[in-house]
């Protein structure tokens, strides 16, 4: 049980595996107005940056669950580095079936709603761990501009234009599921660049060190096409944000 190697190659130097920057995560944490000791469950927690920095800066506690052995080990090391290993723990497991042993104050899935086969299923999964009156955090793409055709949608990692919604429609979708949207922090084009462009240098340096690796042709092909694809499609059409939700 693990992520394919290509993911950890691309993002081996990333602490955050989505287009939210450290500053935006700090803004999000402060915007929730939660007390020290707040308990957080983070499903698909990646390298643990959100939990670790919130534990350091806001006094939160919590658990992260991720399927990647590489990212889970990095999260544990980050907790030690920031001096919060006594407040957060990271579990290597499939987050798609994980429910907390005791209800938490914040249940989060930031940018990995495939664990619940979409927003509705992920909200239902998170609700099983959330105390009454708690906060749910969901990170999800949306269309900044509606793609004109399926080719454009596929270049933004969607099978069809209907896979994502415009921002107002996504917010209304949360309402249809029974939740108030009580806060949001959105990526912008610059933060998309920091997420995507940082992968290119990582891939190039990995290729220089590993020219004979079995994945070298795939990494080479991505490096040849990803910068233009990102500039033409992702940063123009695809938005991304974290939405704080409370049950009606």
Q: Tell me: the pLDDT tens digits for 164-181? A: 999 999 999 999 999 999
Whole-angstrom Cα distance, residue 175 to residue 166?
14
Q: Are strands 179-186 and 238-247 parallel, antiparallel or unpaired?
A: antiparallel
Residues of the chain short of pLDDT 50, as ranges, are none
pLDDT computed for residue 2 by the predictor? 85
pLDDT tens digit string along 49-94? 999 999 999 999 999 999 999 999 999 999 999 999 999 999 999 9
**pLDDT on residue 78:** 98
The token pair that represents 211 in the structure block: 């020219």
Q: Among 243, 247, 177, which Cα is nearest to 32's?
A: 243
Q: Between the CA atoms of 215, 17, 106 and 181, what dihedral angle is there, to the nearest 10 degrees?
A: -120
Q: Any bridge partners for residue 203, and if so which?
A: none
Taking CA 41 as the corner, what is the angle to CA 202 and CA 22, rounded to the nearest 5 degrees?
A: 40
Distances (CA, A) of 42 to 26, 74, 99, 130: 16, 15, 11, 11
The total of structural domains in the chain comes to 1
The distance of Cα 59 from the centroid of its chain, to the nearest Å, equals 21
Residue 77's domain comprises: 5-247
Question: What is the DSSP annotation of 179-244?
Answer: EEEEEEEE--HHHHHHHHHHHHHHHHHHHHH-TTSTTHHHHHHHHHHHHHHIIIIIHHHEEEEEEE
Residues sharing a CB contact under 8 Å with residue 116, sequence separation 6 or more, in sequence order? 96, 109, 122, 123, 124, 125, 126
Q: Which residues, other chains included, contact 30 with Cβ-Cβ below 8 Å and sequence gap of 6+?
A: 58
Cβ(139)–Cβ(110) below 8 Å: yes
Strands 104-110 and 238-247, sheet pairing: unpaired
CATH number at residue 135: 3.40.50.150
- Which pair of tokens denotes residue 241? 């944000």
Whole-prediction pTM = 0.96
């Amino acid at each position: 049980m693990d992520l394919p190697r290509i993911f950890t190659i691309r993002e081996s130097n990333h602490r955050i595996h989505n287009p939210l920057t450290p500053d935006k995560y700090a803004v999000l944490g402060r915007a929730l107005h939660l007390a020290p000791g707040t308990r957080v469950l983070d499903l698909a927690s990646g390298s643990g940056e959100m939990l670790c920095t919130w534990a350091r800066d806001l006094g939160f506690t919590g658990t992260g669950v991720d399927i990647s052995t590489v990212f889970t080990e990095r999260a544990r090391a980050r907790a030690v580095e920031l001096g919060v290993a006594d407040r957060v723990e990271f579990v290597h497991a499939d987050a798609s079936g994980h429910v907390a042993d005791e209800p938490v104050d914040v249940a989060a899935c930031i940018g990995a709603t495939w664990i619940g086969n979409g927003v509705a299923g992920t909200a239902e999964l998170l609700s099983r761990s959330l105390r009454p009156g708690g906060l749910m955090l969901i990170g999800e793409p949306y269309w900044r501009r509606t793609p004109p055709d399926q080719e454009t949608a596929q270049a933004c990692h969607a099978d069809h234009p209907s896979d994502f919604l415009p921002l107002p429609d996504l917010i209304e979708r949360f309402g249809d599921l029974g939740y108030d949207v009580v806060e949001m922090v959105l990526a912008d084009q610059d933060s998309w660049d920091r997420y995507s462009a940082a992968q290119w240098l990582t891939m190039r340096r990995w290729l220089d060190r590993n020219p004979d690796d079995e994945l070298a042709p795939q990494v080479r092909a991505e490096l040849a096409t990803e910068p233009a694809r990102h500039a033409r499609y992702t940063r123009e059409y695809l938005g991304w944000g974290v939405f704080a939700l409370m049950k009606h």
